[in-house]
Amino acid sequence: MTLASSAAVAQLRMPHIVQRGGPAQRGPVAAPLLPGIDGLRADFMARTGSANVYFATGSAVIGAPARATLAAQAQWLLGHPEVVVRVEGYGDPLDTRDHALALGAARAQDVRDYLVLMGVPAAQLSAASFGKERPGPGRTVTVLVR
Amino acid sequence: MTALRFVIAAAALLTSAPALAQQQGATVVAVPPLSTPDDKPTSAGSTASLAWQASLLIASDLKSAPELMPIEPDQKDFYSYPEVTAPTYSKWRARHAKLLVTGFVQGRPDGRVTFGCYIYDVQKGREVDRSGFVAAPEEWRRAAHKCSGLAYKAATGAPGIFDTRIAYVAESGVGDARVRRLAIMDSDGFDHRFLTKGEAIVLTPRLSPKAARIAYVSFSTGTPQVRLLDVASGDQRPLLPGDAMTFAPRFSPDGSQIVFSMTIAGNSDIYIVGADGGAPRRLTTAPGIDTDASFSPDGSQILFESDRSGNQQLYIMNADGSNEHRVSFGTGAHAAAEWSPDGDRIAFTWSGGGALRIGVMNIDGSDERVLTGGPSDEGPSWAPSGRDIVFQRAVGRRRSLYRISLAGGEPQQIVTPQDASDPDWSGPMD
């Protein structure tokens, strides 16, 4: 998860940045947010401890340590309504190809639902699965800050 | 291609022959060099050269079949064109051949060539089969493969698989820079073509019954989605409109429908839709992950995997979704299954002891056997004969295709230009 590549992603996705509540702020956020995305990401990591949430093999159940991480992430996200997040789900490396895709999707959805439960606006979150197709951390959901 | 190069190739074949153990009960098939009425130039070499290359390929095909043992082409067994249909049986009886293959390559005025192929029962002294093919000279390999199929069928009763294609995913590069492209080739690795450019991750190509189309999964929209590709033109389109996650597609045996998996709100189930479009119909509703569906050869039932019991196991249901019942009960998990072409068996990926291996069993779950050693073998696909399986094997970071015969023996690697995964073996080409 190199910052350089994520910054490129952030640049492409500028129009998706969501404004929550508050008085009339329309349209894409002004340019100053873009150079700040690296800083935001660093701040996110510092305050939540981890962008990764781990699951037991073959499971999409959110365990106690995961809940603690997600609670911290939810709190950070509530404080940064201008940031859009993509939750990426991964399967297990020892899984078969299609089941890994499905499991990654189930994990990403469960994390997304949990964050929504904790008050994060649904529009701020999207979920995607990579199965075992990318060299990801495996068995985890990475909450990427964009 | 020069005749000299093929003499050298032939010598290599002959010196390797003694290394082969005599197989018990293997049918000896004589393959003397194919003839030509008149050595004429063609766009792929002279007819005599094509005849010689075809003879070598036929012998090579038959050698790859454990049921057969070819007597390889030798220039000293040259016969003239009239002898194609009047073989000297006594000569081959003396060499203990059971079957004899003769044939010819003839140039045509329109630039194409005619291949004739004749199979004889040496003991009984009579012809058992014949076939002729008109083809572009560049298609000589396909004609030779069809002739091999004729010999194989005469010996075993089963159709040969020499004229079949394998679709797969070609992989190159490392890590995030890994490039994946759909590719298709003859089952012996020749006539290889890339079908996509590698701009997006692609997975699990599945051929339609005559290998005219491929259903596959692409990440081009960021979400895994099934797309359809026309093999001849390269045109592709999404299977469904919208942005739902879809994957694990397979064609029905008549090519009219596609069964696939769709994930909604994190839940994956099996759906079916017309191959030319329409509204998908949902077939499974259980919680948990239902995926990797494949049809029975008569199209009336669907085999799939589900983890509803706690780990991945195999289930069969009617093609309308009714009568779901579990069929795998052995130890370990069973996934990624495909119904055999004869309808009797299932090939699957077995997961146990930290390894993935290829297994087969009857459709009722009996006679379960693990065929390969792993530790990272998955994604089996049946050859149309039901006697061979192609699968993907990972060793370290490398991935490649292997085929294994149910008659026994070690898996043999299929050579591909790059790394390879997700193979799908076509049906008979015509």
Tens place of pLDDT for every residue, chain A, 146 residues?
A: 232 323 222 222 333 333 344 444 444 544 444 557 778 888 888 888 888 888 988 899 999 988 999 999 999 999 888 888 999 999 988 899 999 999 999 999 999 999 999 999 999 899 999 999 887 665 667 676 66
> According to the model, what pLDDT value does residue B176 have?
73
Q: Could you write out the three-class secondary structure of A52-99?
A: EEECCCCCCCCCHHHHHHHHHHHHHHHCCCCCCEEEEEECCCCCCHHH
Please report the ipTM that was assigned to this predicted complex: 0.85
At which of B123, B156, B189 does a domain end?
Answer: B156
Q: Which two tokens stand for residue B34?
A: 């194919």
Secondary structure element (H or E) that encloses residue B293, with its range: strand B290-295
* Confidence check: pLDDT of B22 > 50: no
Q: Are residues B321 and B174 in the same domain?
A: yes
A96 vs B159, residue with greater confidence: A96
Say if residues B330 and B339 touch (Cβ distance below 8 Å): no
Q: Are residues B229 and B377 in the same domain?
A: yes
Q: Are residues B192 and B296 in the same domain?
A: yes
Say if residues B37 and B50 touch (Cβ distance below 8 Å): no
Beta partners for residue B359, in sequence order: B348, B370
B384: exposed, middle or buried (Cβ count in 10 Å: 0-12, 13-18, 19+): buried
Query: Which residue matches tokens 């000896």?
Result: B28
Does B303 fall in a domain? yes
For residue range B386-417, list pLDDT tens digits in order. Answer: 999 999 999 988 999 999 999 888 999 999 99
Does B367 fall in a domain? yes
At which of B156, B178, B196 does a domain end?
Answer: B156
> According to the model, what pLDDT value does residue B165 have?
95
Does B430 fall in a domain? no
Q: Please give the domain boundaries of chain A with CATH numbers for all domains.
A: 35-145 (3.30.1330.60)
- Dihedral sign from CA coordinates of A17, A21, A25, A27: positive
Say if residues B380 and B340 touch (Cβ distance below 8 Å): no
Residue B289 forms contact with A (CB below 8 Å): yes
Kindly determine whether residue B224 and residue A103, on different chains, have CB atoms separated by under 8 Å: no
Query: Which residue matches tokens 């050693």?
Result: B373
> According to the model, what pLDDT value does residue A49 have?
82
> According to the model, what pLDDT value does residue A140 have?
65
Q: Are residues B175 and B91 in the same domain?
A: no
Q: How confident is the model at residue B113 (pLDDT cuts 50, 70, 90)?
A: very high
Q: Are residues B190 and B322 in the same domain?
A: yes
B chain contacts of residue A98, beta-carbon cutoff 8 Å: 204, 247-248, 261, 291-292, 305, 335-336
A chain contacts of residue B351, beta-carbon cutoff 8 Å: 94, 96
| CB-closest option in B265, B267, B378 to A96 | B378
In B7-46, the residues whose Cβ lies within 8 Å of chain A are none
Q: Are residues B329 and B416 in the same domain?
A: yes
For residue range B253-273, list pLDDT tens digits in order. Answer: 999 999 999 999 999 999 999
CATH of the domain at B222: 2.120.10.30
> According to the model, what pLDDT value does residue A13 have?
32
> According to the model, what pLDDT value does residue A139 have?
65
Cβ partners under 8 Å of residue B364, min gap 6: B327
Q: Are residues B102 and B175 in the same domain?
A: no
Q: How confident is the model at residue B88 (pLDDT cuts 50, 70, 90)?
A: very high
Does B382 fall in a domain? yes
CATH of the domain at B111: 3.40.50.10070
Average pLDDT over residues B148-167: 93
Q: How many domains does chain B have?
A: 2
Q: Are residues B295 and B419 in the same domain?
A: yes
Average pLDDT over residues B110-136: 96
Average pLDDT over residues B136-159: 94
Q: How far is CA B340 from CA B360, B384, B411, in A?
A: 9, 8, 18
Radius of gyration of chain B (CA): 23
Provide, rounded to the nearest whole percent, the portion of chain B with pLDDT above 90.
85
- Give the separation between CA B111 and CA A121, rounded to whole angstroms: 70
Of B42-46, B159-163, B200-204, B240-244, minimum mean pLDDT range: B159-163
> According to the model, what pLDDT value does residue A6 have?
30
At which of B125, B156, B187 does a domain end?
Answer: B156
Q: Are residues B90 and B171 in the same domain?
A: no
- Give the separation between CA B131 and CA B146, rounded to whole angstroms: 9
Q: Which domain holds residue B408?
A: 165-425
| CB-closest option in A94, A131, A134 to B356 | A94
Average pLDDT over residues B218-245: 95
Q: How confident is the model at residue B66 (pLDDT cuts 50, 70, 90)?
A: confident
| CB-closest option in B222, B289, B351 to A106 | B289
* Confidence check: pLDDT of B115 > 90: yes
A chain contacts of residue B267, beta-carbon cutoff 8 Å: 106
Q: Are residues B144 and B200 in the same domain?
A: no
Q: Are residues B33 and B127 in the same domain?
A: yes
Average pLDDT over residues B297-318: 96
Q: Are residues B116 and B169 in the same domain?
A: no
Does B80 fall in a domain? yes
Does B316 fall in a domain? yes
Task: Give me chain B's average pLDDT, please.
Answer: 92
